[in-house]
Amino acid sequence: MRTLVWYRGKDLRIADHEPLKVAARDGDVVPVFILDEYFFAPAAARRQPFRIQFLLDSLASLSANLEHLGSRLIVASGRSADLIPTLAAKWKVDRVVAQSWVAPVGRARDRLVSRKLAVPLQLFDTETLGTPGSLRTGNGDPYSVFSAFARAFARDVKVPPPLPAPRSLPPLPKDVKPGKQTLPSLKSLGITRNERVLEGGERAARERLKAWLRRDARDYDELRNLMAVDGTSRLGADLKFGTLSIRTVWQAVDRALRELSPDALRVYQNELLWREFAHSTLFDRPLLLQQPFRAEWRGFPWRDDEDGWLAWVQGRTGYPVVDAAARQLLATGFVHNRARMIAASFLAKHLLIDFRRGERHYYELLTDGDWANNDMGWQWSAGCGCDAQPWFRIFNPVTQGEKFDRDGAYVRAWVPELGLMPAKHIHAPWLAPPSVLAAAGVRLGANYPRPIVDHAVARQRFLDTAKRHLG
Ligand SMILES: Cc1cc2nc3c(=O)[nH]c(=O)nc-3n(C[C@H](O)[C@H](O)[C@H](O)COP(=O)(O)OP(=O)(O)OC[C@H]3O[C@@H](n4cnc5c(N)ncnc54)[C@H](O)[C@@H]3O)c2cc1C
């Protein structure tokens, strides 16, 4: 049997890769990645430079790993919906195998490819721990409350152990000619390499996981909310691009922490279950990428506020934590989870700007930008999502800063204008005495903005608007 293993950007690994394993067990293997213009047209790639950098690193690593096993990754450029059926026919494969996608764009593509293929397309549900759409309430509905979903998961899902990488693979069959296409360089796409973006690829991912397990994992429950501390696992992009499988992470963390730190284990697995919940929710409700989960939010009167938007994007709102989050994103392609929540809430609630605009911005610039998790995060923060933050709870960026960046180190790292501000005043510089501002070299309205909205006024404006709209 000859199998085309279709890699599609969410499974860039050789370990715990069921499609690869099944293909290798049954005969000839033809691994393929399509450089789809959806991501790789230079203009599209330049809108999401950090993700493309991580993706290209990961593809280079996958290609080297497959060669090491005796095979090679064939790269072709075009629309996958056209190319996969053409290549499958040309190379006379008996089937195409791949990891399934939860995101609607991938499912639509797979339906199209499946119709065009003359051979079966076999999909494996390994993007998540359980099979998407399998957990149901007593009424047979998808869950919309996280805690109930997590209980059902604990009861019904047994996470299988990850599969080891194959020891070797058969060489490409002689009649399969790979063509001349290679992986594009960042330069050819017009992207400058950013050394602050995490390194992609399976080896880097494994090292990241190992280092975190050695270093901070045991204190995850305490460190995870501290914005200045690099105490979280930083595996978001690895899970998004599949340089580590979710089962591998689940098992490794379980093994490392079960005895050592059960609290940290419980809290970390809970976060992995939020990922599971987000994916499951998007699987069942694909329209969520266009509209709020709660029907009463449709037609919400968001404001057009270009100045507010630009200030939020560029980190010039005058609220130090919100600005630090914006600048961390622009500089590194990452934002700490707590800072994401504060910044997203600020955009939707303080500025009354449509959360979907922020969602798009995050999706493009976060290295871990992921349809399901990002949409869940934004709808949660705006208050319109599945099991969201109640709409009338509005984060105060000053008190959030004081609580989760007590000594101001997060702000100082990303907003150097405030580098010399004492901790006591760093989260609300406009309230600092003139002598403190002068000593820190801060000139409000000159080298650091005054707040673009007053917290109390903006809060009331949101509450009034939401009350009117939501009844
Ligand atoms: C507005 C907003 C946007 C977000 N956008 C994304 C996104 O595009 N991609 C993304 O992976 N996460 C997103 N998150 C969730 C979370 O912020 C990131 O997963 C986390 O910060 C990634 O860093 P880490 O790997 O160090 O996380 P850790 O704390 O080490 O968590 C481990 C893993 O658990 C999963 N996870 C953690 N928290 C969540 C969560 N709240 N929801 C779903 N999964 C979670 C992620 O896969 C993460 O890598 C968003 C959150 C908010 C509030």
The residue whose CA is least distant from atom 22 of ligand 1 is 236
The verdict on the CB of residue 269 being under 6 Å from ligand 1 is no
Structure letter (DSSP) for residue 260: T
Please, how many CA atoms are within 13 Å of residue 142, restricted to the half-sphere of its CB? 18
pLDDT at 265: 98
Under DSSP, is residue 452 helix (H, G, I), strand (E, B) or coil? coil
Other beta carbons within 10 angstroms of residue 456's beta carbon come to 9
Which residues are CB-contacts of 39 (< 8 A; sequence separation ≥ 6)?
9, 45, 48, 52, 55
Max CA distance (Å), the chain? 78
Structure letter (DSSP) for residue 143: P
CA 342 – ligand 1 centroid, Å:
14
Under DSSP, is residue 304 helix (H, G, I), strand (E, B) or coil? coil
User: Using alpha carbons only, what angle is made at residue 332 by residues 326 and 336, rounded to the nearest 5 degrees?
Assistant: 60
Beta-bridged to residue 6, according to DSSP, are 32
- Position 11 pLDDT exceeds 90: yes
Residue ranges of domains in the chain, CATH in brackets: 2-127 (3.40.50.620), 128-159+202-284 (1.25.40.80), 295-470 (1.10.579.10)
The verdict on the CB of residue 389 being under 6 Å from ligand 1 is no
Question: Using one digit for the tens of pLDDT, what is the confidence trace for 41-99?
Answer: 999 999 999 999 999 999 999 999 999 999 999 999 999 999 999 999 999 999 999 99
Predicted TM-score (pTM) of this structure: 0.97
pLDDT at 463: 97
Question: Using one digit for the tens of pLDDT, what is the confidence trace for 388-441?
Answer: 889 999 999 999 999 999 999 999 999 999 999 999 999 999 999 999 999 999
CA 376 – ligand 1 centroid, Å:
10
Buried b (16+ CB within 10 A) or exposed e, 67-78: eebebbbbbbeb
**Strand 121-124 to strand 2-7: parallel, antiparallel, or no bridges (unpaired)?**
unpaired
Please answer whether residues 49 and 195 qualify as being in contact, where contact means their C-beta atoms are separated by less than 8 angstroms.
no
pLDDT at 327: 98
What's the rounded mean pLDDT across residues 146-174?
A: 97
CA–CA gap between residue 254 and residue 272 (Å, rounded) = 12
User: In this prediction, what percent of the chain has a pLDDT beyond 70?
Assistant: 100
Question: Using one digit for the tens of pLDDT, what is the confidence trace for 336-366?
Answer: 999 999 999 999 999 999 999 999 999 999 9
pLDDT at 471: 81
Across the chain, mean pLDDT equals 97
DSSP assignment of 153-202, as one string? HHHH--PPPPPPPPS--PPPPTT----S--PPPTGGGT----TTSPP-SH
pLDDT at 388: 87
The verdict on the CB of residue 272 being under 6 Å from ligand 1 is yes
Cα distances (Å, whole numbers) of residue 153 to 88, 136, 149, 267, 372 = 37, 10, 6, 15, 18
CA–CA gap between residue 69 and residue 214 (Å, rounded) = 29
CA–CA gap between residue 170 and residue 72 (Å, rounded) = 10
The verdict on the CB of residue 130 being under 6 Å from ligand 1 is no
Question: Using one digit for the tens of pLDDT, what is the confidence trace for 237-295?
Answer: 999 999 999 999 999 999 999 999 999 999 999 999 999 999 999 999 999 999 999 99
The verdict on the CB of residue 374 being under 6 Å from ligand 1 is yes
CA–CA gap between residue 388 and residue 161 (Å, rounded) = 32
pLDDT at 39: 87
Label residue 190 by pLDDT band (50, 70, 90). Answer: very high
Residue with tokens 């005043």: 425
What's the rounded mean pLDDT across residues 131-144?
A: 96
Label residue 37 by pLDDT band (50, 70, 90). Answer: confident
Other beta carbons within 10 angstroms of residue 460's beta carbon come to 12
Please answer whether residues 358 and 378 qualify as being in contact, where contact means their C-beta atoms are separated by less than 8 angstroms.
yes
Other beta carbons within 10 angstroms of residue 469's beta carbon come to 14
